[in-house]
């Protein structure tokens, strides 16, 4: 079983990214073959500052490796280091119905809001399809809001296969478990767009400041509180053992505890949980050549498999390498 997943470097990874996706991606890396890419080509649709994009790409690589992605088990690479993906994108675009792209959420949402949408955003799903199909991916772990992209990929692959033969493997979506609800500092879903995130690698002082600023209700200290209705407790459960959760829940229900005490417990649990990853990240950041080698090796693995699939697709539609110049 071949697993593939990508993540955009549009900002530093936060708790929602980690518990909602990254942790589950890493759990799948022990499969027969796994490809994980940093989707920097996709990021060009939103980031126009070249210095910022370069920094975010490097940060994404450091973060993923520090959080447990093992290059001995999975290929990690920049999407832009695999030119085969853009060539395959064009092959797929020639068979992709315009109406299929017009139905995709990102384009429809921008259009509905009267915001400008460029060709990159409009054809984004085709590049995503190329990302998936280029490696004969069997399983693609995605959130519920990304299932449409897998459906589009399958539709495009079926159309290509119908026209040119059985070229592409049809991928299956593996919907990520979203039972680990991750509220932001305002109680809403943690999201960069809401400005309510807590980054995985926040400096300790900034981490504590953000946690202490989490929105809570105005229940007096002396009164009992409902832990299940409190976002601080919801976040605490992500880091704490069952015994620790039970103990803090009892403190909530007994009364006499302010939210500041719960926030302090959350800070200590989160800080301790990510401490090993923080140490690994510092080691990696101090050895950039090692990280470059990991990414280069990942790209070589990706290109080897990608070249095989691209040749299959090119041959099928009449673009076989015939001239001496390109043999």
Catalytic residue among 113, 189, 205, 206: 189
Confirm if 233 and 249 have CB atoms less than 8 A apart. Answer: yes
113 is catalytic: no
Note the pLDDT tens digit of each residue in 127-178.
999 999 999 999 998 888 789 999 999 999 999 999 999 999 999 998 887 6
Residue 31 scores a pLDDT above 80: no
Distance CA 305, CA 169 (A): 13
Domain boundary assignment for the chain: 2-181+288-326, 202-273
What is the end-to-end Cα distance of the chain in Å, rounded?
A: 32
Is 59 within 8 Å of 12 (Cβ atoms)? yes
What kind of architecture, by CATH, is found in domain 2-181+288-326? 3-Layer(aba) Sandwich (3.40)
pLDDT, tens digit, for every residue of 302-311? Answer: 999 999 999 9
Which pLDDT value is given to residue 33? 82
Q: Which two tokens stand for residue 213?
A: 């600023």
Assign a CATH topology to domain 202-273: Tyrosyl-Transfer RNA Synthetase (1.10.240)
Other CB atoms within 10 Å distance of the CB of residue 278:
16
- Tens-digit pLDDT profile for residues 286-319: 999 999 999 999 999 999 999 999 999 999 999 9
Burial state string for 306-325 with b = 16 or more CB within 10 A and e = fewer than 16: beebbeebbebeeeeeeeee
> How far apart are alpha carbons 50 and 9 in whole angstroms?
12
Residue, of 125 and 176, whose pLDDT is higher: 125
Identified catalytic residue from 111, 159, 181, 192: 192
Active site residue 237: no
Q: Verify whether residue 159 is a known catalytic residue.
A: no
Residue among 110, 111, 159, 215 flagged as catalytic: 110
Predicted local confidence at residue 177, as pLDDT: 73
pLDDT of residue 178: 65
Helix axes 119-133, 147-164, angle to 10 degrees: 70
Contacts of 259 (CB under 8 A, 6+ apart): 216, 225, 230, 232
Beta-carbon contacts of 190 under 8 Å, excluding residues fewer than 6 positions away, are 14, 15, 16, 182, 183, 184, 196, 197, 198
- Average pLDDT of the segment spanning 84-107: 94
Q: Which residue has the tokens 């959080």?
A: 67
- At 105, the pLDDT band (50, 70, 90 cuts) reads confident
pLDDT, one tens digit per residue, over 238-276 is 999 999 999 999 999 999 999 999 999 999 999 999 999
């Amino acid at each position: 079983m071949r697993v593939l997943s990508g993540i955009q470097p549009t900002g530093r990874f936060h708790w929602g990214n980690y518990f909602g996706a990254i942790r589950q991606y890493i759990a799948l890396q022990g499969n027969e073959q796994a490809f994980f890419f940093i989707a920097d080509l996709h990021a060009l649709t939103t980031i126009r500052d070249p210095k910022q994009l370069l920094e975010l790409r490097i940060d994404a690589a450091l973060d993923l490796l520090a959080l447990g992605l093992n290059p001995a088990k999975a290929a990690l690479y920049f999407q832009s280091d695999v030119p085969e993906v853009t060539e395959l994108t064009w092959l797929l675009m020639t068979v992709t119905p315009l109406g299929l792209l017009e139905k995709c959420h990102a384009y429809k949402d921008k259009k509905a809001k009267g915001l400008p949408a460029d060709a990159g955003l409009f054809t984004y799903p085709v590049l995503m399809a190329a990302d998936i199909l280029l490696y004969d991916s069997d399983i693609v772990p995605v959130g519920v809001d990304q299932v449409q992209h897998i459906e589009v990929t399958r539709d495009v692959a079926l159309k290509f296969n119908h026209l040119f033969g059985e070229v592409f493997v049809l991928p299956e979506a593996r919907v990520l478990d979203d039972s680990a609800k991750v509220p932001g500092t305002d109680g809403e879903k943690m999201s960069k767009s809401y400005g309510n995130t807590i980054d995985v690698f926040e400096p300790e002082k900034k981490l504590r400041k953000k946690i202490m600023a989490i929105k809570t209700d105005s229940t007096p200290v002396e009164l009992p509180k409902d832990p299940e209705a409190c976002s601080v407790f919801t976040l605490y459960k992500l880091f704490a053992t069952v015994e620790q959760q039970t103990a803090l829940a009892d403190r909530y229900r007994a009364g006499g505890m302010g939210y500041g005490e719960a926030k302090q417990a959350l800070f200590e649990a989160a800080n301790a949980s990510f401490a090993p990853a923080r140490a690994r990240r510092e080691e990696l950041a101090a050895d950039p050549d090692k990280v470059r080698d990991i990414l280069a090796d990942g790209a070589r693995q990706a290109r080897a498999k990608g070249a095989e699939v691209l040749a299959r697709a090119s041959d099928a539609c009449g673009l076989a390498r015939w001239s001496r110049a390109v043999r």
